[in-house]
Structure 1
């Protein structure tokens, strides 16, 4: 049954991509992509349940792995894929690119396929290939609008990220070499094989390999200072693509760092690997804070928020322990929901006012009552304000820092979060209570229910998960903690 669910999960977007490309009709493409997103989401939910019940394992010659950690990342990606597919139906019709929509949905489904497949790779080399494929496919989506800004962002994206991924490949090769000194010249590069061999491997080789992987996959995650591609790519992409980049792709890349950290932990290689991870996490929060406060573009504001939140997630995994891992996983799901909501709201505002500049957007609540209320609630949520889910996840990560001996890091994180709260909501004060310099466009009359419904679908879970942390989540996070530590629950 679990193997069938894995087939369904990956086959749905693959079939959608082929049908959209071959059919070459906009309405057919958007319908089949939405159907694929629904099917993939349902399969992802069932896979999480199966993994929690102990039905995980390896399939297809041992190349595919379903464990509790990978299943959670797949679920977060599937959530964003579904929400973005709903929103894309309304948003993409506003671009006046009817003849190219079929190709957009073919690429969009293919992008979803790569993001869903990456966390399931049981081989460090295959995982690297899957993450590189996400870059190759999504580059065309970043450049879809074909203006100067989009083309520049696409080039910057593929060059910077490919350079980073090359560093990750070097780290993987060095790790394989270190393993060969223990396991022989040829062996399977699976996560479990590496973790079992780690205690006998040279700690220096392991540390070097992890640092290279941290920089390499950290570039894909958007950790500062390797984040330079992210603000341009996120801000120039169509809004549904921005949601996928921020809410799905970054999580898939973060998983690689977490799996490598688990291998290093098994070898007791010292504090340098974890300290470097925490350092980059805190620096990312700092960089995100500085750019959020001074930002002038609405989608770039959301992009730097992604840098901040991936830094927070890195801190959670870096602090480690049950609290740190639980907080990071909860943050991952909440951020995926919240950032989708924020990019959808930004897309609506941009199409309504015909500008990307914060100063050009004003009186949002009066002119866009429904979208404006949802977007404002999302803005409060994304800053970590109660009673939304990110408040609980950030509080849990702070508790992990204080209890784990990283008190000064936790205090620095808390201070930066206060600055972000003030700076981020100050931009919304301008957009909601200031006078807009840009006039509403003709697109303002065509913001359909497709553009509003996914905002509701993202906000309601955020509110529920801020008021109630389900016991099932706690039990699942305990399983992930034991899985990453290599211990029995």
Structure 2
């Protein structure tokens, strides 16, 4: 049953991508992509239920893995894929690219395929290939609008990220070499094999391998200072692609760092690997705060928010323990919902007002009442304000920092969150309460563009008012899986 489920999960976007290319009709492509997204979401929910049973399951010669950490990342990716597919129906029709829409949806489904497949890879080498494929496919989506800024962002994206991924490959090779002294010249590069062999490996080799992987996959995650591709790519992509980049892709890359960290922990390499992870996480929150305060572009504002939230997630995993892992995973889900909402709102505002500048957008609540309240609520939520889900996840991560002996890091994070709250909402004060500079009355977005904002906000609010007990049990399973079964 579980094996068939994974075939459906991966097969749905694969079939959608192929069908969109073969038929090459815009309406058919958007419909088949939406159907694939619904199927993938249902399969991801069932995959989490199966993973909640404990343990891990492997298929196809041990190359495919379904465990609690991977299933959770797949679920977050499937949620964003579904929301973005709904939104794309209304948004992409506004671009005037009817002849190219079938190719867009083929690439969009293929992008979802790579994101959903990556967390299921039970081999460090295959995982690297899956993450590299996300880069190759999404580059064409970043450049889809073919404007000068989009083309520049696509080139910057593929060059910077590919360089980072190459560093991750070097770290993987060094890790394999270190394992060869224990397991022989050839062995399966599965996560469990590496974790079991780690205590016998050379700690210096393992530490070097992890640091290279941290820098490499950290580039893909958008951790500062390797984040330089992210603001351009997120701001120049079509809004549904920006949502996928921020709410789904970054999570898939974060999982690689977390799996390698569990191997370093099993080897007893000391505090350096975890300290480096925490250091990059805190620096990312700092960079996000500084650039959020002075930002002038609406989608770049959302992009630097992604840098901030990936840093917060890194702090949660870095602090470790059941509470830190739970906070990071809860943050992952809430951020996926919240950032989808924010990019959808930004896309609506940009199309309605005809500008990307914050100063060119004004009196949103009066001019766009259907989406104004939704976007403003999302803005409050993304800053970690109650009663939304990110407030609970950030609070859990702060508590994990104090309990884990990282009090000064937790205090620094709390201070930066206050700065971000003030800076981010000040931009929304401009867009909601000041006159737009040189714009006519904007056109209202379609229901396709507003409905997914509701679908993102309502669970975001529910998760802020109620932390499900089943989630806590599931997060404990993830913490045990990452610690090799140790409590």
Report the TM-score, using the length of structure 2 for normalisation: 0.99
Note closer, same or farther for the CA distance 1:229–1:399 as it changes in structure 2 (3 Å cut). same
C-alpha distance in 2 between matches for 1:365 and 1:488: 51
Aligned counterpart, 2:6 = 6
CA contact (8 A) 2:296 2:359 kept: yes
Aligned counterpart, 2:271 = 271
Shift of 1:344: 0.1
Q: Is the aligned partner of 1:116 residue 2:124?
A: no
C-alpha distance in 1 between matches for 2:458 and 2:329: 19
C-alpha distance in 2 between matches for 1:156 and 1:13: 27
C-alpha distance in 1 between matches for 2:440 and 2:26: 27
CA contact (8 A) 1:90 1:450 kept: yes
CA contact (8 A) 1:351 1:441 kept: no
Aligned counterpart, 2:211 = 211
1:302-327: CA deviations, max 9, x gaps? 00000000000000000000110000
C-alpha distance in 2 between matches for 1:299 and 1:335: 16
Q: Is the aligned partner of 1:483 residue 2:472?
A: no
> How many positions carry a matched residue from both structures?
487
Aligned counterpart, 1:246 = 246
SS at match of 2:100: helix
1:99-127: CA deviations, max 9, x gaps? 10000000000000000000000000000
Q: Is the aligned partner of 1:344 residue 2:338?
A: no
Aligned counterpart, 2:449 = 451
Q: Is the aligned partner of 1:235 residue 2:231?
A: no
SS at match of 2:146: coil
CA contact (8 A) 1:353 1:438 kept: no
5+ residue gaps in structure 1? none
Aligned counterpart, 1:306 = 306
Q: Is the aligned partner of 1:83 residue 2:88?
A: no
Aligned counterpart, 1:131 = 131
Shift of 1:441: 7.1
Shift of 1:440: 3.9
Shift of 1:72: 0.2
C-alpha distance in 1 between matches for 2:214 and 2:249: 16
Shift of 1:384: 0.0
1:378-427: CA deviations, max 9, x gaps? 00000000000000000000000001000000000000000000000000
Aligned counterpart, 1:462 = 460
Shift of 1:487: 1.6
1:428-478: CA deviations, max 9, x gaps? 000000100142477x25x21000000000000000000000000000000
C-alpha distance in 2 between matches for 1:71 and 1:240: 23
Report the TM-score, using the length of structure 1 for normalisation: 0.99
C-alpha distance in 2 between matches for 1:266 and 1:440: 61
CA contact (8 A) 2:367 2:441 kept: no
5 Å-filtered alignment, 1:279-290, equals 279-290=279-290
SS at match of 2:58: strand
5 Å-filtered alignment, 1:378-417, equals 378-417=378-417
C-alpha distance in 1 between matches for 2:78 and 2:473: 21
Aligned counterpart, 1:40 = 40
Shift of 1:56: 3.8
5+ residue gaps in structure 2? none
C-alpha distance in 1 between matches for 2:265 and 2:438: 54
CA contact (8 A) 1:361 1:438 kept: no
CA contact (8 A) 1:168 1:217 kept: yes
SS at match of 1:65: strand
